Amino acid sequence: MSAQGEFARVAAEDGRAALVTVIEGARPGAKLLVRADGTTDGGLGDARLDAAAVEAADELMWAERSELREVDEATLFVDVTAPAPRLVIFGAVDYADALCRLARAAGWRPFVCDPRSQFATRERFREAEEVIAAWPEEALERIGGIDRATYIAVLTHDPKLDDATLTVALRSDAAYVGAMGSRRAQAQRRERLLSAGLDEELLDRIAAPIGLDLGAVTPDETALSIMAEVVAVRNGREGGRLSQMAGRIHEVGA
């Protein structure tokens, strides 16, 4: 199968890959397919150009955007296909239900995980892609592990569950790890995790308290606060007010 055909197959199966095409250069129209696992099909006719294309494809398929790239005298178009991003929510609480509903409305795939089977039920979380009654390591294994397009929200308020989840999440490739709780609770959690052997650098990855400062009070408002931060992180933004921003509101695609 050609690189173009394989790219179409991956896209049809809701997979992740990038197809790099030479727009201008020595071999216009030459194509290189790069899969999420790093394997490739096709080629651009030059080993150095292939290497640059693989690097760009790996970056953009996880950033989930397509764009033009200039490499030496060549212009490449990196076309990306990717599944909807995953939001993995730990803690089968009311906030999780509101966050599931909002994530689904925004086109994300929300998962709810909690070892307490009496709370982690499909009846309570109808908008979740999957509800998993298991401890973090098993739950994450059941959804295929954590990749660079996985966003994690810890909402449990239970030190045993919080710490177990964060210990796994912070050592992973997750794009975002946020945790609910007051500043006092965050400080106590940090001390526990330091005592458990996690490095300061890893702990600095936690977005805590989770969410943007919207003055949220209700579960629905809190979910909006969390989802706003997650979307901002995914798009490389700070989440400030547009009226106070300089420059373009939207990035211009290829």
Identity of the highest mean pLDDT range in 88-102, 177-191, 196-210: 88-102
Tell me: the pLDDT tens digits for 208-246? 999 999 999 999 999 999 999 999 999 888 887 776 666
DSSP 4-66: HHHHHHHHHTT--EEEEEEEESSSTT-EEEEETTS-EEE--S-HHHHHHHHHHHHHHHHHT--
Tell me: the pLDDT tens digits for 7-43? 999 999 999 999 999 999 879 999 999 999 999 999 9
Residue 3 scores a pLDDT above 80: yes
Domains of the chain (ranges plus CATH)? 3-81 (no CATH), 86-234 (3.40.50.720)
pLDDT for residue 6: 93
> Predicted confidence band at 248 (pLDDT cuts at 50, 70, 90)?
low
Which helix or strand (DSSP H or E) is residue 195 part of? helix 183-195
Q: What is the pTM assigned to this prediction?
A: 0.86
Query: 167 near 159, Cβ under 8 Å?
Result: no
